[in-house]
Structures are given as structure tokens and as C-alpha cells.
A and B are shown apart, each in its own frame.
Chain A
């Protein structure tokens, strides 16, 4: 996979570009940041629109509250920091000051997942999808590439209510055959009938590679980019389960309560089929992103192995 030179760009970059554009196209957009402005790529907006940028220092809870106050006054605030702090440190502020009032606050949490690398467990956000999707009114989006992050950011403004954008640090290639990006609508990016692989964020790339490897073994996998864990695209998921009879999910996130759990919640009531949730158990550790994907079993190789195991279960049940 690394032999071919592919243009790579992080999802945080896509977010930053969209923010800059929104600065021009929407006068209500304001940006708040908790001392990680460049890391979240909010500095392009800050430098061009300093009067609409609010520096909050290392104070995530206060930042979420201020964002609520700005939203209550007609602004469309983007509150930016690392996902670990946005979703964890300020969770109660998001619960009461943002979600309970269904306010138009957009939260950008970058450095999601283990691909943060060297910073290790404290800075690798692994729980945001779970923490955010359980909040009423909250939309949760996990873009898979820079283009999706850009579009998700632009579209978030048109959603009346809070939106959480999970962004990554590592540059990633563009999703092939991505299709039209629309928050809430999953994209089938590889077709297949033997099983469905549902992925989000950086794991979409792995899922596509795994599908190609499986194809060489005569197994066709349908790859679904579920970039919006909430509101979840039930129709696409149920259809995939019914047509393939086996569902494998993968996310760069705890395997408990995240995207895979959201898929399971849908299928258990509608189309229960053999299923496997791939994700992370426990806390992250320091390392290079690719080493960490290997360490935590989040590679195309692991996907292929789990797919084969899942197909055996499917066969047994038939």
C-alpha cells in the first residue's frame, strides 16, 4: 500500500479549509479554541477573521459554555480542541449547556484515535463516538478523508442543533469511489454480497484494502463508509445485513459503545446476523500510527482474518 505515492491529507486539514471558507460565506460563524488552534487547523480562520475568533486558553469546560452563550445569541460557534478533551473533559457542559437546549454549537475534536501516535493514551481520543452519540440531539460525524471533513463542516452549519466532528491528525488518502457525501447517509463504496464491512474514519481505507484482498480469495465484501454514526443510516445497514448475512464493523475507537455498537443496536432489532465488532480494548499507547494499527489489530490483515472467521459463523448458522 505504501509503494504507490498517493496524495494524503488529514481530516483536520479539510476542516480548517472549510472553516476558512465559512468565514467568508457565513457571518454568523465564530470560532473558539482551547489553546490548540493550529493543531485543530483553526489558525487559518483566526488569522483572517480575528474579530470572530475567541481564544479560551486551556479551559474546555468554559469554552463549551461560552459557545452555548454565543449560540443563544444567534452565532454559529465552532468549539475546537482535541477530541479527548472536547468529549471527555467538557462532557457535562456539552450535556447541559449544549445538548439539553439543542443549541447550534459545532464541536470539532481533532486527534481522534490511536493514529495520534507518540502522544499516547492521554491524547488519543478513543471514546468520543460513544460519549457524544448517547447525548440527545447530538449529531456525530467521523469523516474518512479531507474532502469528507470539508463537506461535513460546511453541512454542519445547516444542521439546527449540536454536531460533533471527529477529526484525525494523520494524513490519509482520499476514499476511492466515495460517492456523494451527505451527513446521515452512509456510502456503499465497494459492492459485494458475502459480508458487509462497515467502517468509519481512517478505518475506511483499511476496509477497502481488505475487500480487495478478500476478492482475491473469491469473497466479495460490501464496504460501507458509515461516516455518520448518529443519526445512523438504518436503511443501508439493514439492507446490507439482509443481503449479505454477516456484518463486520471496524473503528479506531473503543469497541464498546461506538459505531459498531450503534450498528448492533439497529441490527439486533431488525436483521440479527453474525456480527463482529473490531475496535480497541483499553487505553492507547505511544508509537507510530502504523505500528499502533498493527498493535491494536486494526489492519487489512486483521480484517481479512476476522472476515473469514465471521463467514464460518455465517455458514454454521445457515
Chain B
């Protein structure tokens, strides 16, 4: 795995990943831009700083696992998996094309993809099953599962929440990419989920709130989660849908579309500016 120890390095990597996401979505001509961009910093934190894995040996039994329950955001996962070496970066351009391993929603079989997802609400159950198996086998690894905030409308999520708490799965850490939007609009208008953090707390989870685009905040959250005993952990990561590109941020219409050529150029220009600012 490629470790990056400094915040500036992680931020630079995130810019690179955002470029990669926008390029592949633009080439594909369809796909989910908003929710891919909102979780980039969470993925970068996990894959370049927190998780133990081996791209040369993707099935290594002792690895930490990442489950993308919000499967529609797979461009972000693909960009990261290619960058850390699970498959060639050249494959990214094949997203959503006939014959590609990069399906419109992630398919098990592509190295680094732990679970096929896309039908929302299923990832946490699978993650809990993996966490139970690791405990049975005395494997000292962590299972990470990221969900969308809209996704937790699904009842199965709360079934899994009960299971994880009942079996005291302290090796399971769920993250909600809390960008506050879903396809039909703002989450609170589509269907209110009430006191969100309290819900998870009352389901028996150790809850943490983090700023989902702040590397120090994310680092702290994952470190706190790792040390929790006897409980699964929920990190509610406050994010911005479409983060990083001004004309995509917080625009619900960007949930399920991809950038056109001119939009891609504008987005790249913004990312170039951000990179310049970073280097200073």
C-alpha cells in the first residue's frame, strides 16, 4: 500500500483522485458525480493512511476491508484502487463500457472490490458478516463500510445496525457520507431521518462526528474508532455533495450526471488552482 504521512500529501492525492473521477465520468458519458466527489477525502484517508491491504495479494486473509455500500459512487473507488495498484490506471477509461471490468456499479471480481453493490442498503449486512467471520477466525483486521445518508432510508441498514451491536462488532466501522442530499433533493425533505446521530447511538453504536473534508478531523475520527471496545463505530462524516468543483457542489442535479467536455475543462482549471494553493 502507498502510505502518505502528511496532510498536504493527502490533499494533493485527493485532487489527483478528483481529476481521475471527472475524467472517467466524462469519458463514460454517464454516472454519479456528486456522491463520488463527496467521499473522496474519506477514501483517501482510508487507503493512504489507515487501512492495511496488499494490492499484489488482494485476498490476503488478514487485510482490512472496505465495502462501498453506496455503489453508485464507484468512480471514486475505482480511481483509488487503480492508483494504489489493484489494476492498471488505463482501465479507468473503460468505465461503463461493454466488456469493461469497471461496471456502472461495482462488481465483485475486479481486484480490490470486496462486494458487489448498487442496490442500496445491503453493504452493512455484508460487512457485519465479514466482521463476524474475522472474529470467528481470530483475525485482527478492520472492516470499513461507507453508506450514503439517503441510503440509510433503507430498513435493512437498521437490521444490520442491530446485528452489529448485538455481536459487539468492534472490528466494524461504518461511515456515512453525510452530504445531506439524495436524488430527489435534500434528504430532510425527501424523508426526514430525525436525530441522526442519536439513532445510531440508540442502536448501540459508538458515534463520532467528523468534518469529511478535513484530514485532521478524519484522522482523529478513525483513530478514536479503532480504540473503541465492544461496540461497532459510526462516523458521521459531514461532507458536501460534489465537493471540490464550485459548479457541482450542493447541486442535486449533479447526483446522476457526468461532466461534458467544457465542464471537465472548467473543473480541471479549478483543481489546478487548488493544487497551486496547496504548494503555495
- B119 in contact with A62 (CB, 8 Å): no
- A67 in contact with B136 (CB, 8 Å): no
- B51 near A: Cβ within 8 Å? no
Interface size class of B (residues with CB under 8 A): 20 to 34
Residues in B whose Cβ lies below 8 Å from that of A73: 129-130, 133-134, 137
Closest chain-B Cβ to A312's Cβ sits at a distance in Å of 49
- B224 near A: Cβ within 8 Å? no
- B126 in contact with A97 (CB, 8 Å): yes
The tally of residues in A whose CB lies under 8 Å from a CB in B reads 30
The B interface, classified by DSSP as helix, strand, loop or mixed, is helix
Whether A54 touches B132, Cβ cut-off 8 Å, given contacts A62-B156, A62-B160, A101-B116, is yes
Residues in B whose Cβ lies below 8 Å from that of A52: 136
Residues in A whose Cβ lies below 8 Å from that of B128: 62, 65-66, 69
Please tell me which one of the listed residues B119, B129, B155, B162 contacts residue A69 in the complex, with CB atoms under 8 A apart.
Answer: B129
Interface-central residue, A30, A62, A70, A77, by most chain B CB under 10 Å? A62
Closest chain-B Cβ to A93's Cβ sits at a distance in Å of 6
A66 nearest CB neighbor, chain B only: B129
Interface-central residue, B108, B109, B117, B134, by most chain A CB under 10 Å? B108
Closest chain-B Cβ to A66's Cβ sits at a distance in Å of 4
- B119 in contact with A92 (CB, 8 Å): yes
- Within B160-174, which residues are at the interface with A (CB < 8 Å)? 160, 162-163, 166-167
- Within B115-129, which residues are at the interface with A (CB < 8 Å)? 115-119, 122-129
Give the distance in Å from the alpha carbon of A61 to the alpha carbon of B156 in the complex. 6
Closest chain-A Cβ to B100's Cβ sits at a distance in Å of 17
The A interface, classified by DSSP as helix, strand, loop or mixed, is helix
Interface-central residue, A52, A68, A75, by most chain B CB under 10 Å? A68
Give the distance in Å from the alpha carbon of A201 to the alpha carbon of B278 in the complex. 69
- A66 in contact with B136 (CB, 8 Å): no
- B159 near A: Cβ within 8 Å? yes
Residues in A whose Cβ lies below 8 Å from that of B94: none
Give the distance in Å from the alpha carbon of A304 to the alpha carbon of B125 in the complex. 49
- A70 in contact with B130 (CB, 8 Å): yes
- A64 near B: Cβ within 8 Å? yes
Residues in B whose Cβ lies below 8 Å from that of A75: 133, 136
Give the tally of cross-chain contacts (CB within 8 A).
105
Closest chain-B Cβ to A64's Cβ sits at a distance in Å of 7
Residues in A whose Cβ lies below 8 Å from that of B126: 65-66, 68-69, 72, 97
- B108 in contact with A30 (CB, 8 Å): no
Closest chain-B Cβ to A111's Cβ sits at a distance in Å of 21
- B132 in contact with A97 (CB, 8 Å): no
Please tell me which one of the listed residues A56, A65, A72 contacts residue B122 in the complex, with CB atoms under 8 A apart.
Answer: A65
Closest chain-A Cβ to B173's Cβ sits at a distance in Å of 15
Residues in B whose Cβ lies below 8 Å from that of A97: 115-116, 122, 125-126
Please tell me which one of the listed residues B116, B123, B136 contacts residue A51 in the complex, with CB atoms under 8 A apart.
Answer: B136
- Within A48-87, which residues are at the interface with B (CB < 8 Å)? 51-52, 54, 56-57, 59, 61-75, 77
Give the distance in Å from the alpha carbon of A68 to the alpha carbon of B163 in the complex. 14
- A100 near B: Cβ within 8 Å? yes
Interface string of B42-81 (1 = CB under 8 A from A): 0000000000000000000100000000000000000000
Give the distance in Å from the alpha carbon of A120 to the alpha carbon of B121 in the complex. 31
Give the distance in Å from the alpha carbon of A95 to the alpha carbon of B105 in the complex. 14
- B107 near A: Cβ within 8 Å? yes
Give the distance in Å from the alpha carbon of A61 to the alpha carbon of B155 in the complex. 9
Whether A96 touches B136, Cβ cut-off 8 Å, given contacts A72-B129, A72-B130, is no
- B114 near A: Cβ within 8 Å? yes
Q: Which residues of B contact A (CB under 8 A)?
A: 61, 107-109, 114-119, 122-134, 136-137, 155-156, 159-160, 162-163, 166-167
Give me 10 other A-B pairs in contact (C-beta within 8 A), A68-B125, A70-B132, A93-B156 excluded. A59-B159, A62-B159, A65-B129, A68-B115, A69-B131, A69-B133, A74-B133, A93-B122, A96-B116, A101-B109
Provide a sorted-by-A list of 20 A–B residue pairs whose CB atoms are within 8 angstroms: A62-B128, A62-B163, A65-B122, A65-B123, A66-B132, A66-B160, A69-B128, A69-B131, A70-B133, A72-B114, A72-B129, A73-B137, A74-B61, A74-B133, A75-B133, A93-B125, A95-B119, A96-B116, A100-B116, A101-B109
